[in-house]
Every structure is written in structure tokens, then in C-alpha cells.
Amino acid sequence: MNKLTGTIVHIESSEHMSMVDVDVKGDIFSSIVLETPETASYLKVGRAVTLMFKETEVSIGKNLSGQISLRNRFGAVIRSIEASGILAKVLLDYQSVQIVSVISARSAVKLNLKKGDSVEWLVKTNEVSLLTEKG
């Protein structure tokens, strides 16, 4: 599981859901949660949270241009690639934090991914969970 720590900077709610924006070292991540500030006491601007998302939910792109619906799109450098069978595990350096992506080996070959490449990694807002300390 990938984990990043940050601070809630904005909350937009509608009915029983909220779009929560979290600042992680100057980058803004978004998460959709099935709670609102009225139903979940941890949803407060200024609250420290941990973002969590599965390795299989991290997509990788090279030379992307134009707009895309995925809000969580950040630059990184490939640390290593381990291909085994039909899957490839790509270790990324994002702001000195390791992010792991598991993609198909075919995609890794098609993208011509190599150690040291600058890439973008993406994860959908509904795949990012928030974790807080009790209290």
C-alpha cells in the first residue's frame, strides 16, 4: 500500500460525499470519501491525514499532453523496474518518497520504461483513502 502524509486544505461536500483536497509537500491530492464534515469529525481543514492507495491503482504515463479527468497527476523518476511474467513493479521517486506501481509488463515495454526516466503517475480520486490518528 502506498502512503503519503499531508494536511487537509479544502473540503467540498454534496449530500453524503465529500471531495477532500490534501496538501502533500506543495502538491494537492484529491480524495472522494463517503462522509461529510457533519458525519465525520476528522474532516477538518488543517487536519493531518495519511493518503493510502493500492499499487495496482497507480498508472504511469510518459510524454502526456492535454487534459485528463484524473486529478491526481504528479511527476516522478523511475528508481527501478522488476518485470516478472505478465506484471511489472515500477518503483518511483516522488519527492524523495517511494511510490510503487504495478502495471502490465506489456505496458512497461510499450512505454519503454527505464531506470532514471521522468514519468507522471496518476491515481483516481475514488481510489485514494484517508487515514487519521484517533483523537
Residue 135's pLDDT is 43
Q: What is the mean pLDDT of the chain?
A: 94
What pairing do the DSSP bridges indicate for beta strands 2-14 and 17-24?
antiparallel
Domain that holds residue 91: 2-131
Average pLDDT over residues 94-123: 96
| pLDDT for residue 134 | 57
Alpha-carbon Rg for the chain, nearest whole angstrom, is 16
Condensed to tens digits (0 to 9), the pLDDT of residues 32-54 reads 999 999 999 999 999 999 999 99
Query: 0.85 cut: is pTM over it?
Result: yes
79-105 pLDDT tens trace = 999 988 999 999 999 999 999 999 999
The tally of domains found in the chain comes to 1
pLDDT at 114 over 60: yes
Assess whether pLDDT exceeds 90 at residue 132. no
User: What CATH number should be reported for the domain holding residue 73?
Assistant: 2.40.50.100
82 Cβ neighbours under 8 A, 6+ residues apart = 88, 89, 91
